[in-house]
Chains A and B, each alone.
Chain A
Amino acid sequence: MSENDGFISYELQEFKLFEPLFRWARKKSLWIVAFCTGCGGIEMPPLFTARYDLERFGMMPNPAPRMADLFLITGYVTPKTLKRIIITYEMMQDPKYVLAHGSCPINGGVYWDSYNVVKQLDKYIPIDVAIAGCMPRPEAVMDGIREIMRKIETGEADGWKRYRENYEWYRKNQDELFGEGWREKDAKRWLAWL
């Protein structure tokens, strides 16, 4: 697959010429879904406050998935949270990128033998950049962000495309973990308690 191939195949075909401009614009204004999971939640605020200040990269924490394009998974993911992560991820617009912090999303980290932690997040949603560490320093996170910016520029950050193309595989993994029709089941379980 050549570097540019298919990067804009889902939209903006008419503006192929401007693609470098769009990529530059995308990397310069990454908006983050404020979805803090696990221990990493405590490392998010320092990133955005005066000391490390991510806003100088044009990044904004943002509560609405439809407006965001960067999803930070900041720690261990339980199946219960994973459902919400998947729903939120699917609700984000293309193109969207996932940055995983810490060891837990990569291989379960210290919870490698827990019954209740998802060992390999990449099986359920595609990860573009992972940062190892338990908990990674803000500098490491910033390094990861630099990396994702580089990948956006070159078109390597293509998790959203992989998700679309290999949806069957992701779907199978999700269903294996949660059971078929988990969305409806999970929604309906509260009805009895209303």
Chain B
Amino acid sequence: MFVDWIVGHAIPLLLFIPAVSGVIAWLLDRDSFGELKDVFGLIGGLSPLVIIAITYGRLGDGIKWTVDTGVFKLFFHLGYMSWYLSAVAAVVAAAMAFGMVSTSRSGYEWMFALFSVSGLLGVFLSGDFAGFFLFWELMTFASFMMVLRYNKGASLKYFVLSIIGAYAMLLAIAILYAKTGTLEFQSLRGMIYNSIYGMVPLTKTDTILVYALFLLAFGVKAGTWPLHVWAPDAYSETNQSYTSFFSGALSKAGVYGFVLMFILLGIKLYVDMGTFHGHMVFTYILAWLGAITVVVAGFLAVLQEDLRKLLAYSSVSQVGYIVLALGIGSGIGFAGAFFHILSHAVFKGLFWLITAALILRTGKTKFEDFGGLAEKMPVTFAMALIAVLSLAGIPPMAGFASKWLIYEAAISAHMPLVAGAIFLGSGLAFAYVVRFLYSIWFGQRPSDLEDVEEAPLPLLIGMAILAIPNIVFGIAPGLAVKLINKFIPNSGVAANGYYSISTGVGTYNALSVTLILVVGLAIAGLIYIYGAKARKIPVTDTYQSGNPVTEDYNLSIRRNFYRPLAEALEFWLRYSFDRFYARLARMAEDFADSLREGFYNGNVQSYSWYLAIVLLILALWGVL
């Protein structure tokens, strides 16, 4: 039957349909088939979601697929964990595809956007390091090409850091391969287990080296401090519909890398690195990296003056939560991390689609140019409200459930400082979403935004695709926890039905919270309706200490919204990893320049001297 055929071939279909339709969309980028390229783009973007949906409940022991490329055998495996991750990626990809119908400028963008979909799915589905690295590079390359179109500087920064990360990973893989002789995850895991008993020559130094290299490799992709500097530029300088996938899903590749590190090396790392105050050292480092990321990126997000930059830093900060949750290292932590992967993907994807709509309709990105758009784009505003509620962690949204799990994990793992960092991060998240709400949607509208229209339909569909999971998984967190429990045995989080989840510490019954909220809103609504007659007044009818005001005065705070915070942080803001890397890059450049000028100086005499020196060295070595 057709469905069975799809289930049987799920992996090649998942990997190839997006990439192939991307290429077709690129080929069709002629005036005569202008619309067709969007059709193929949509096919590519939606196919993963369809396939993933069809395979739901039919995974059995996991779907496998092997390709023999001659040099390598590539293994792919669609198990519960990769299904979950791919499903998250597929939802965001579908939303991105709808968004790109409105915002993509060319077939070029379709091609690379869909390449990164394939790349990410390949990373999630790979059963060995060869495929993993291959698709990792495809993903990096595709996202680099997307950024390159818009800003060369930002793309190069992203590319250099990604390459450093990727080759750190290659080095780590090489070490593992040299010592164990296998790239395939299953057998590698067995080998590493054996190495604890000395049967495989993987020494303690090797383990720590591999760990450090993996931290670098996956830290870059996940935007972990201090490797986050590419994210603000790369996320903002590209097609914003694509960023919903870039930041919503692609950043999860790094997180998945950390998960993989736990699965493959966990025991070995524990044995070799030991414990610190009852915490495993290797997870403890991860937890603190996550905590620092959450706080630092949160503060930086609050201080941004550009909508895209704010969301980019917020994305870094939220992925920090996931890294932190993984670093807690307990079952609840893992469940929280996977849940937050889902909720961050859906709310941040939604945020970026809203940004895409705003940029499409107004052409502006700075907060100082926006204001009072809630009246002009009511549907988009409603979506923004859902995203804001979810990000800030307000109960009936997915963001609350996942953050709640992370808190529970931090508290039950006795990590008070880390829990404090999450708490501070949540406060900062409130601060920057308030900025987003205030500067863009409320207040006085600048006169040049008078004829802004509602977002186009495809973008709205994309937003709806992402808004629905925010609400559904918020009201029914049990749904997500059930999926997660399938691949994390003994997670310590139980789903009591769809609506309620509980850990050893407490229970969160989302349905009753939602009901109470709805009833409360209803009562408040009744009081409002019966309490008094509301009258609409113009925005300038405001209390400017009794002074008359007109539209000529800008009464909304659009610039330096959190100036006092910036002043309080002045000392800390003087140190920036961004500037540090920039200086490092300049030094490398200068060094290269001096090398070139010093050695290739066009002086024949010095070339003969080089020859003489080499001969001398050879002579001393005893070759001549």
Q: Mark B550-593, 1 if CB is under 8 A from A, else 0.
A: 10110000000000000000000000000000000000000000
**In the bound complex, CA of A88 to CA of B541 (Å):** 10
Scoring B541, B548, B549 by chain A CB atoms within 10 A of each residue's CB, the highest score goes to B548
> Count the A-B residue pairs with Cβ separation under 8 angstroms: how many?
41
Q: Per a CB cutoff under 8 Å, which of B532, B546, B550 touches A35? A: B546
Contact between B547 and A84 (Cβ–Cβ < 8 Å)? yes
Q: Per a CB cutoff under 8 Å, which of A10, A35, A66, A187 touches B552? A: A187
Q: Per a CB cutoff under 8 Å, which of B532, B548, B552 touches A83? A: B548
Which B487-540 residues have a C-beta within 8 angstroms of A? 530, 532-533
Contact between B550 and A188 (Cβ–Cβ < 8 Å)? yes
Which A61-82 residues have a C-beta within 8 angstroms of B? 64-66
Q: Mark A8-35, 1 if CB is under 8 A from B, else 0.
A: 0011101100000000000000000001
Contact between A91 and B553 (Cβ–Cβ < 8 Å)? no
List residues of chain B with CB within 8 A of the CB of A66.
543
List residues of chain B with CB within 8 A of the CB of A10.
533
The contact size tier of chain B is 10 to 19
| In the complex, A85 has a CB within 8 A of chain B | yes
Known: A187-B552, A187-B553. Is A87-B546 also a contact (CB below 8 A)?
A: yes
Contact between B532 and A187 (Cβ–Cβ < 8 Å)? no
List residues of chain A with CB within 8 A of the CB of B552.
187-188, 191
Main SS class of interface, A: helix
Contact between A187 and B547 (Cβ–Cβ < 8 Å)? yes
List residues of chain B with CB within 8 A of the CB of A184.
548, 550
Contact between B550 and A14 (Cβ–Cβ < 8 Å)? no
List residues of chain A with CB within 8 A of the CB of B550.
184, 187-188
List residues of chain A with CB within 8 A of the CB of B548.
83, 87, 182-184, 186-187
Contact between A91 and B533 (Cβ–Cβ < 8 Å)? no
List residues of chain B with CB within 8 A of the CB of A91.
541, 543
Contact between B547 and A11 (Cβ–Cβ < 8 Å)? no
Q: Mark B211-248, 1 if CB is under 8 A from A, else 0.
A: 00000000000000000000000000000000000000
Contact between A65 and B532 (Cβ–Cβ < 8 Å)? no
List residues of chain B with CB within 8 A of the CB of A15.
530
Q: Jot down 24 A-B pairs with beta carbons below 8 A, ordered by A.
A: A10-B533, A11-B532, A12-B530, A35-B546, A66-B543, A83-B546, A83-B548, A84-B545, A84-B546, A84-B547, A85-B546, A88-B543, A88-B546, A93-B532, A182-B548, A184-B548, A184-B550, A186-B547, A186-B548, A187-B547, A187-B549, A187-B550, A187-B552, A191-B552
The 9 closest A-B pairs by CB, nearest first: A84-B546, A187-B548, A183-B548, A187-B550, A88-B546, A186-B548, A11-B533, A87-B546, A11-B532
Which residues of A come within 8 Å of B, CB atoms? 10-12, 14-15, 35, 64-66, 83-85, 87-88, 91, 93, 182-184, 186-188, 191
